Amino acid sequence: MDENANTNVNADATPKPKRFGKDLTEGSVPRHLISLAVPMLLANLLGTSYSLVDAIWIGRYVGKEAIGAVAVSFPVMFIFIGVAAGATIATTVLVSQFYGARNQAMLSKTIGTSFCLTIILGVVSAVGGILAAEKILAVLGTPDTVVPLAESYLKIMLLSLPVMFMHFLISSVLRGVGDTKTPLYFMLVGVTLNAILDPLMIIGIGPFPKMGLDGAAWASLICPIIGLVLLVGYLRRKGGALTTGVNFFSIDAGIAKLIAKIGFPSIIQQTSISFGIAAVTSIVNSFGAAAIAAFGVGGRIDAVAFLPAQSIGLAVSTISGQNIGAGRYDRIPLIFKWGIIMTSCITVSFAVIFLSIPEILMAPFMSEPDPEVIEIGRSYLRIAAPAISFFAVMFVSNGVINGAGHTFTTLIFTLIAVWGIRIPFATLLSRTSLGIKGVWVSYVIGFSFTMCISLLWYRSGRWKKAVVKHKVPDAVP
């Protein structure tokens, strides 16, 4: 393909390609949002539910130091999750726009090129992460009592990165064509297997030796591999436009440039958030083991509250991408409005729960109540409550902007919010009489700022400037 494909992608357009997936350029916007967001939300809830159950097993049968080890390892893994999410958001944007533009040839090239690049990125990330694991934990200021558990756990988790990256890629392709149900089904298989293996390998039941925290890590490696094999086998048997005519071992130069143009800012954005979490973890570490445990538990609980906003935001991005590819800019305000309505209603409910019963939410994660951990966790959840609504609104406006391909814009928003506001405020306020509560307050300040600038950018209409140019497609017969 001509390397100028990133400025004019219509030369390869097929007049009437075979349709598959779901056309989101017509019909009810609320219905489309629900049909896309609910399976994603359920898939994320399954993953988070497993994470919560995993934390409960670890907390009850391994101990407080193990919870701390997981809490310290989380921001490290989140960095690589950010790389995977950032890289594959470009695939979602391109797939959704080429799908909306009825451009089958470019769609096939996007899938094949993304496949190759994802494999390379996953392997490099795993090797680099394992080699640097010990130094990373030292930089985070991990307490000596936690280091041995954290290092072993983290290295095993890092082995799963190539598989995790492929899961992200396949989900991003399917999401781009409006299919969020298939990833949900296979997520259910993986989580079910994980839920069975986890206690067996942690406690040592039947043929399994007692492995403690490492058992949880090995279960988290084995089950996604099984899920990925089943998912790939299903897609190959299904055939169709997702696999037919796709060269999975070739990189198209023009598509690679587009992926880099859209994906690289998203990678930097996601990893900057991840490094921000790592920086916050380092600050929390200075307050001792109880603070680390409370931060780990609180973070797992509020992750559940963030999921609806993330799912609706991703749905907004996909629907916006298809409509922009089809030239249906008139539908974008409707997509934005319904995204705000839906995500706000859900997150306000979570905020009320956080304010009302934080102690009850934390109780399952401890074998015995620890007053210090509960007190710190209570302050975390109650202060974080308003930040959930700010995050929800921001995710919708960013969804439109990212769906249009302007990922560099949302990168700038994130860099300012995280490194210009959240980290400096966390560092400063934690040294005042607020203590560790200052860290939680910095989250509220950072999310409120990001929400405001994202809304202003959306209202300006500057996201309408084309990143990928499309010929408006003919009507589907």
Q: Give the per-residue pLDDT at 470.
A: 56
Question: What are the pLDDT digits (tens) for 40-62?
Answer: 888 877 776 767 677 777 777 77
In a domain, 4, yes or no: no
User: What number of helices (H) and strands (E) belong to the chain?
Assistant: 15, 0
Residue range 103-131: mean pLDDT, rounded: 87
Which among 309, 319, 400, 313 has a CA at the least distance from the CA of 32? 319
Q: Give the per-residue pLDDT at 373.
A: 82
Q: Give the per-residue pLDDT at 469.
A: 63
Q: Domain tally for the chain?
A: 1
In this predicted structure, the answer to whether residue 2 has a pLDDT above a threshold of 50 is: no
Report the distance separating Cα 459 and Cα 477, nearest Å: 35
SS3 state at 11:
coil
In this predicted structure, the answer to whether residue 4 has a pLDDT above a threshold of 50 is: no
Tell me which of 56-60, 108-112, 200-204, 286-290 is least confident: 56-60
Tell me which of 58-67, 107-116, 238-247, 384-393 is least confident: 238-247
In a domain, 341, yes or no: yes
More confident residue, 351 or 473: 351
Residue range 389-418: mean pLDDT, rounded: 88
In this predicted structure, the answer to whether residue 31 has a pLDDT above a threshold of 80 is: yes
Tell me which of 233-237, 262-266, 460-464, 468-472 is least confident: 468-472
In a domain, 13, yes or no: no
- pLDDT band for position 10 (50/70/90)? very low
Amino acid at 326: A
In this predicted structure, the answer to whether residue 405 has a pLDDT above a threshold of 70 is: yes
In this predicted structure, the answer to whether residue 428 has a pLDDT above a threshold of 80 is: yes
Largest CA distance in the chain: 67
Q: Give the per-residue pLDDT at 400.
A: 92
Cβ(335)–Cβ(316) below 8 Å? yes
Instruction: Read off the tokens for 400.
Output: 């439109």
Report the distance separating Cα 311 and Cα 317, nearest Å: 10
In a domain, 16, yes or no: no
Tell me which of 154-168, 350-364, 390-404 is least confident: 350-364
Q: Give the domain extent around 155.
A: 27-464
SS3 state at 2:
coil
Compute the half-sphere exposure of residue 190: CA atoms within 13 Å on the CB side of its CA. Answer: 30
Q: Give the per-residue pLDDT at 331.
A: 92
At how many degrees (to 10) do helices 64-100 and 104-139 cross?
160
Amino acid at 376: I
DSSP 422: I
- What is the distance, to the nearest Å, from the Cα of residue 426 to the centroid of all Cα atoms in its chain? 23
Instruction: Read off the tokens for 92.
Output: 């979602």
In a domain, 265, yes or no: yes
In a domain, 119, yes or no: yes
More confident residue, 245 or 218: 218
pTM: 0.71
Report the distance separating Cα 426 and Cα 201, nearest Å: 38
DSSP 465: S
In this predicted structure, the answer to whether residue 5 has a pLDDT above a threshold of 80 is: no
At how many degrees (to 10) do helices 104-139 and 253-285 cross?
30
Report the distance separating Cα 47 and Cα 300, nearest Å: 11
Report the distance separating Cα 468 and Cα 227, nearest Å: 34
Q: Give the per-residue pLDDT at 18.
A: 44
In a domain, 298, yes or no: yes
Residue range 374-401: mean pLDDT, rounded: 86
CA distances from 249 to 88, 119, 120, 180 (A): 17, 10, 11, 25
Question: What are the pLDDT digits (tens) for 230-277?
Answer: 888 877 776 655 665 666 777 888 888 888 888 888 888 877 877 787
What φ, ψ does residue 145 adopt, rounded to 5°? Answer: -70, -20
* Residues contacting 28, CB < 8 A, separation 6+: none
Amino acid at 6: N
Cβ(189)–Cβ(106) below 8 Å? no
Supply the mean pLDDT for the chain.
81
Residue range 159-164: mean pLDDT, rounded: 90
Residue range 212-237: mean pLDDT, rounded: 83
Q: Give the per-residue pLDDT at 6.
A: 44
Amino acid at 291: A
Q: Give the per-residue pLDDT at 3.
A: 42
At how many degrees (to 10) do helices 371-403 and 407-415 cross?
150
